Amino acid sequence: MPVTDAQITDARRFGKVAVLMGGQSAERDVSLNSGGAVLRALQALGVDAHGVDAGHDVLRVLEAGGYERVFIMLHGRGGEDGVIQGALDTLGLPYTGSGVLGSALSMDKLRTKRLWQAHGLPTPAFAELSAGADLAARVHGVGLPMILKPVHEGSSFGMTKVQDVSQLQAAWQAACAFDDTVLAEHWIDGAEYTMGVVGRQALPLIRIETPRTFYDFKAKYDADDTQYHCPCGLDAATEQTLQAMALQAFDVLGCTGWGRVDFMCDADGRPWLLEVNTVPGMTDHSLLPKAARQAGMDFNTLAWRILETSFARRDAHHRPGGGASPSPLYKVQC
């Protein structure tokens, strides 16, 4: 059964809540900003919420603090890869968002794409690059231009656009600074979109525009010229079809609770799935809160709705996506 909204109306039902933030990943600073915003929102709504900077002793801190549930705002490794989720399962502490399986799969861009391919979902051509490989030979089927990405990293760290094979080595080394395994993915020219999920609600699409080469770390967090269009400019039928595709992509990975699905539409209007973020940014300037506002949900309400997902029943034997093939309607004109 898919998870459903718990619709909690009394803040006391949540008990003592730990908002986990910080951590040790490359996205620590982003996590602290997101976690701080969530903490203020929950406290404003009367939730007994406390910020916890997740160090190596985080499990002892949670046990000693008498917490009854956890709002996970850890970005990157240790927070989105299933590690903290497994630890919390062992402690018997309910938490927000995806469980071990959905978190681990979504954090692994390579296995994400393989699963999407197996379910007939559209994702750009790709190849795995590892140490000692003949890079030019490995990426032959990917086609130029392409983008190289660390397989287990977020916030666009270590990503480089490659337009000529002579640039491969430097791009691979940049990605290797963050991960031993690197993904080479065909570059899609076109419009970039993102769709937030809360419970089973698909939020309005956001179309992202940046004058930079791609939507990199600076475009996400520093630039003043990145534009976010919500409404995205698509007709209602097309947007609904893309939302259905994004939800299936979310389900196929075993994701639950909340998250964000990123994809692009090429010059011919075909959608191409890129990745799923199981713990998206949660500042006032982040993408998911922007989409939630368009759906009539302010930031505080969004934080409450996400915390409600910690009540959702997790079924370890749930078969996400039901194994169904995607609808031909996914070939849409964006």
Identify the burial level of 92 via C-beta atoms within 10 angstroms of its C-beta, where 0-12 means exposed, 13-18 middle and 19 or more buried: exposed
Q: Which residue type occupies 261?
A: V
Active-site residue, selected from the candidate residues 216, 262, 310, 330: 262
- Per-residue exposure over 191-209, b if at least 16 CB sit within 10 Å of its own CB, e if not: bbbbbbbbbeebbbbbbbe
Same-domain check for residues 213 and 312: yes
| Mean of pLDDT values over 238-249 | 97
pLDDT band at residue 99 under the 50/70/90 scheme: very high
- The SS3 assignment for 107 reads helix
112 lies in a domain?
Answer: no
Candidate list 257, 260, 305, 308, residue with the active-site label: 260
Q: Rg of the Cα trace of the chain? A: 19
Compute the distance between CA of residue 94 and CA of residue 43 in angstroms, rounded to an integer: 19
Residue 305: inside a domain, yes or no? yes
One domain for residues 195 and 311: yes
Say if residue 306 is in the same domain as residue 200.
Answer: yes
> Is 185 part of the annotated catalytic residue set?
no
Place 25 in a pLDDT band, splitting at 50, 70 and 90: confident
4 located within any domain = no
One domain for residues 182 and 234: no
Residue 138 pLDDT: 77
What pLDDT does 176 receive? 82
260 is catalytic: yes
Instruction: Please confirm, yes or no, whether 275 is among the known catalytic residues.
Output: yes
Per annotation, catalytic residue among 22, 27, 34, 251: 27
Q: Looking at the DSSP assignment, which residues form a beta bridge with residue 258? A: 198
Question: Contact 120/99 with Cβ under 8 angstroms?
Answer: no
Q: How confident is the model at residue 3 (pLDDT cuts 50, 70, 90)?
A: very low
| 106 assigned to some structural domain | no
Mean pLDDT is lowest, of 109-118, 209-218, 277-286, for 209-218
Averaged pLDDT, 303-328: 60
Burial (CB count <10 Å: 0-12, 13-18, 19+), residue 252: buried
Sign of the C-alpha dihedral computed for residues 36, 81, 230 and 126 taken in this order: positive
- Cα–chain center distance at 262: 8
Express as a percent the part of the chain with pLDDT over 70.
Answer: 85
- Average of pLDDT values for 295-304? 96
Q: Which domain holds residue 211?
A: 190-330
pLDDT band, residue 103 (cuts 50/70/90): very high
> Residues 260-277: pLDDT tens digits?
999 999 989 999 999 999
Choice among 81, 153, 251, 275 that is catalytic: 275
Higher pLDDT, 132 or 218: 132
In the block, tokens 């998870």 appear at 3
CA distances from 81 to 35, 106, 156 (A): 18, 7, 16
How many other C-beta atoms can be found within 10 angstroms of the C-beta atom of residue 247?
A: 19
> How confident is residue 69, by pLDDT bands cut at 50, 70 and 90?
very high
**Catalytic annotation, pick one of 281, 305, 308, 310:** 281
Work out the pLDDT band at 317, boundaries 50, 70, 90: very low
Is 33 a catalytic site residue? no
The catalytically annotated residue of 156, 221, 270, 314 is 221
pLDDT grade for 132, boundaries at 50, 70 and 90: low
Active site residue 277: yes
| Residue 44, pLDDT score | 98
Q: How many CA atoms lie within 13 A of 229 on its CB side?
A: 10
| Domain count for the chain | 3
Tell me, yes or no, if 27 is annotated catalytic: yes
Say whether both 145 and 169 belong to one domain.
Answer: yes
pLDDT of residue 297 exceeding 70, the answer is: yes
- Position 153 scores a pLDDT of 67
- 111 assigned to some structural domain: no
Q: Both 250 and 326 in a single domain?
A: yes
User: Same domain, yes or no, for 180 and 194?
Assistant: no
Q: Catalytic residue, from 25, 31, 155, 310: name it.
A: 155
Calculate the alpha carbon distances from 18 to 55, 76, 92, 291 in Å. 13, 18, 14, 25
**Residue 326 belongs to a domain with what CATH number?**
3.30.470.20
Judge if pTM exceeds 0.75. Answer: yes
Q: Is pLDDT of 76 > 70?
A: yes
Confidence (pLDDT) at 214: 52
